[in-house]
Amino acid sequence: MQPIHTLHDFFARTGADVRLYHMGRRVEPCRLDVLSRFEEDASAWPSPWQGQARLGIVFRFGDLADPLIWFLALPLDEQGQLIPAPRDAFLQRLLVILGRNVERVGRETQDGSEIENLMHDNPLAFTPSLPFQAMLHAHATHDTGKPASQHLEPVEAYLSGQQPVDWQFLGLQGLADFAVRLDDDAARQLATTLPSLPDEVLNSLCYCLEHVAVPAPLAQALRDRGEQAAAMGRLETLCACVRAVSGADGAIAGAWFDDLLADSAACGPDLLAAIAGRGWEHLEDGERLPRFLERLAEQPQADFASAARDLALIPRLRLPVLMTLREAGRDSAIGQRLAGLGQRAWSKE
């Protein structure tokens, strides 16, 4: 019997029907080979969040009627690679609970209570926010060909403007189902009704749209609402729109980010966090990234070192971030931040 050294080994040996989802910067599907390469130390985690590889694992084996769900946060080192000891301890607990007879579990499991109980008092377990949970459920049902929740129909009726529905009765799960199933036709229709949505509905919808690709007409409508919110001092709605637009093409999202970063008055900590948290892909730009880091350094309330390190863990941003820090002039906001922290050397790793 081959030993089990990784989570990937465990799921392969049990014959589990398993689907993985990123649960860090966005909720989106994650291929099994990404986990395999990560656990083999062959690659860094592609979408780190706060120094962790956050995973939602939806799996079923044996005769289980309903899938089990694990939320695991695997710690990363300074290079974005797996720190194996916590994962190994988790696997050891798992194998003890199963009596090490993994193949039998795959064939005979009738209920997953013992494995589900493994999540209790587990230092790797975490509880995602409600929008993240709703998006995972929406993805899982969509990806397995199951129907959406009962909350989708009233959301579709309300957002299309075809039927009067009290927006206070719209469910977050319905908004998540709508976002995951968003197609070009629905996006164009939503773009026409978006200007009239109450902020409360718009914000909740944006917390779901920020996890999916957003077509151009809808992205432009979101930008328009965001700029309107900025003019009226509605910071939460502005940031929600920024996060949602992050899933759009760079021609729209990148251009809006450039305009926002050009305005020092607009670049408060919340807005910068929205750009870094959901729009990190648009920071892969030779001019936009330095401008972003400079604005971040100018904010006394922002934890510059922590935010810069978090971005540097993203494989495609690591070198550009380190180069920007290394090349920052001593009199620049970045240089002064690094000097004040006494950590200039860390940018030369």
pLDDT tens for 133-163 read 999 999 999 999 999 999 999 999 999 877 6
Chain Cα centroid distance, residue 288: 21
Q: What percent of the chain lies above the pLDDT cut of 90?
A: 77
Residues of the chain with pLDDT under 50: 344-349
Tokens in use for 233?
A: 């001092």
pLDDT tens for 81-113 read 999 999 999 999 888 877 655 655 555 555 556
Rounded to the nearest 10 degrees, what angle do helices 288-298 and 315-327 cross at? 60
**Nearby residues of 288 by Cβ (< 8 Å), 6 or more positions away:** 254, 257, 258, 261, 282
Query: pTM to 2 decimals?
Result: 0.91
Dihedral angle, C-alpha 101, 86, 49, 77, nearest 10 ° = -130
DSSP string, 243-304: HHHTTS-HHHHHHHHHHHHT-TTT--HHHHHHHHHH-GGGG-STTHHHHHHHHHHH-TTS-H
Q: What is the arrangement of strands in the sheet containing 68-75, beginning at the earlier edge strand?
A: 27-30, 17-23, 52-60, 68-75
Q: How many residues comprise the chain?
A: 349
Report the alpha-carbon distance of residue 316 to residue 161 in Å, rounded: 41
Report the alpha-carbon distance of residue 59 to residue 75 in Å, rounded: 22
Q: Which pLDDT belongs to residue 14? A: 82
Secondary structure letter of residue 346 according to DSSP? G
